[in-house]
Structure 1
């Protein structure tokens, strides 16, 4: 299997995980110019299509292991992934990247709190919500209700995706699930994206989409799998809480999105909440064979 050789990536596992975080956020930041050319739907469609082709080449889907009851869940995963990607890209078209990621982060935080079975863990989504309020600053006239709404939809999609993925994740590795669902996601996004992108697709646009797909999901997948082979899922998940901070940094450097002092505080609250929720929301890993499964995705998108 090709991935058996790809995951032999040198370097400390924590560094590989951090590089994966920046790969996925760099993909989001670099998607903004493409959104201007083909719209959020078109960008989602092109990125997912390229990602599907690349992942199918790396990791064939587990077609022989499929059962009749798996098809509806896998289709649901793919459709959810496509719609969530469109919603997130529509959000970053209107609001800063760091803000959109922080809002979207509320979805998996809520799932983690509910899974823990402890009332004490509900404090983390509440803390993150407080951070999101500081980030969005709804008391200002520049508050973009539509952009925030798209980010919330993406968060709901991310949380739902995690729940659905767990239903099939106990039987399949994460890589196999990704290869099976990305084509469905691409077709779903194409329903919205084709009308937006039609007439604007040329060699340059396709090359940009291919480059973005190489960053995420391909480079992200290789780095995460290499990191997971050498660190615990708890440590990995805690590092993933840095994602909103990475989004804020790249939004500042690449998109010149300068946060206010309150927004810096808000992003810190979201990061702390994410790290604490992950440590309190674990479940016993299922008995599986084959390669180490990927973690539940931070996002079924970027």
Structure 2
């Protein structure tokens, strides 16, 4: 059976690209967490967004002239959401394990998928995800600090906003031009606080090198891999693979940061992953879009 004209078929190379993008972005988060003791959250966020903006501008070279006020409004809002999402998520992983943070953060896109599906059956997946969150909470406050968990949930709300604004930017700007410009806005918003928080630490070569590594792993490389993968995969398949994020993050946290999860926490991650996949599939093309 052949795929309909104009719709990409699922390919192993496309699947590999999406999984590689996931490992890249969560490995970048793990490297960022390892840098917090030396520089702090704000400086690491500023380095990620600033280096990412410079690299994306160099690759995309977005056109600036001829843009409407509405176009720039989307870019500014997109940049503000990027700044908030990254700052709050990094503040969360400073306090709780990376796998747990991503498990809680992914609830934002999951709720968006459930609402977009407009089907009663989709809410069953939301209930399953809630069960995973409750199970995650059984690990105890010594491992899952309440403030860190709350920050991860807020980051999830920003992630949902990121998805909406990313779609709007994509409809107004070609390729990743809207993202590149939004990264500049996010950099402008976070860089002053990053410099104030780190002082001369941002001038140390090891810190700068790790900051550049975070930008490459968390922004430039995964965005590039995802854009290539979308040319090889149906959007629904792409969305399902992206739902594996909590499991990939748990692996990155274990390998890079030594953050081993308990069996109950692993079960919670599994429940949220299954709920995310189910929510995406129940929404069909509407959610994939």
Give the TM-score, by structure 1 length: 0.86
Structure 1 CA distance, aligned partners of 2:143 and 2:17?
37
Match 2:230 to one of 204, 228, 231 = 228
Change (3 A) 1:263 1:65: farther
Query: 1:90 is matched with which residue?
Result: 91
Task: Give how far 1:85 is off.
Answer: 0.4
Task: Give how far 1:60 is off.
Answer: 1.8
Give the superposed CA RMSD: 2.1
Higher helix share: 2
Residues 242-285 of structure 1: CA deviation (Å, up to 9, x unaligned): 11000001111111111111111101011111111122335569
Query: 2:271 is matched with which residue?
Result: 269
Residues 102-148 of structure 1: CA deviation (Å, up to 9, x unaligned): 11001011111111111221222332222122223265554411111
Structure 1 CA distance, aligned partners of 2:46 and 2:145?
25
Matched, 1:46 2:15: no
Structure 2 CA distance, aligned partners of 1:218 and 1:198?
26
Structure 2 CA distance, aligned partners of 1:69 and 1:153?
27
Query: 1:176 is matched with which residue?
Result: 177
Unmatched tracts of structure 1, length 5 or more = 1-9, 286-294, 297-302
Deviates more, 1:146-155 or 1:212-221: 212-221
Q: Counterpart of 1:63 in 2: which secondary structure?
A: coil
Deviates more, 1:177-186 or 1:63-72: 63-72
Query: 1:207 is matched with which residue?
Result: 209
Change (3 A) 1:213 1:280: same
Unmatched tracts of structure 2, length 5 or more = 1-10
Structure 2 CA distance, aligned partners of 1:131 and 1:43?
30
Query: 2:259 is matched with which residue?
Result: 257
- Say whether the 8 Å CA contact 1:62–1:180 is kept in structure 2: no
- Say whether the 8 Å CA contact 1:83–1:189 is kept in structure 2: no
Query: 2:282 is matched with which residue?
Result: 280
Structure 1 CA distance, aligned partners of 2:93 and 2:220?
22
- Aligned positions of 1:120-199 closer than 5 A: 120-137=121-138, 139-173=140-174, 175-199=176-200
Task: Give how far 1:221 is off.
Answer: 1.8
Query: 1:33 is matched with which residue?
Result: 34
Query: 1:7 is matched with which residue?
Result: none
Query: 2:69 is matched with which residue?
Result: 68
Aligned length: 278
Structure 2 CA distance, aligned partners of 1:274 and 1:223?
21
Task: Give how far 1:192 is off.
Answer: 3.3
Task: Give how far 1:11 is off.
Answer: 7.2
Change (3 A) 1:222 1:88: same
Structure 2 CA distance, aligned partners of 1:40 and 1:174?
30
Query: 1:291 is matched with which residue?
Result: none
Query: 1:218 is matched with which residue?
Result: 220
Query: 1:105 is matched with which residue?
Result: 106
Structure 2 CA distance, aligned partners of 1:136 and 1:61?
44
- Say whether the 8 Å CA contact 1:82–1:186 is kept in structure 2: yes
Residues 63-96 of structure 1: CA deviation (Å, up to 9, x unaligned): 2452221222210110110111010001000000
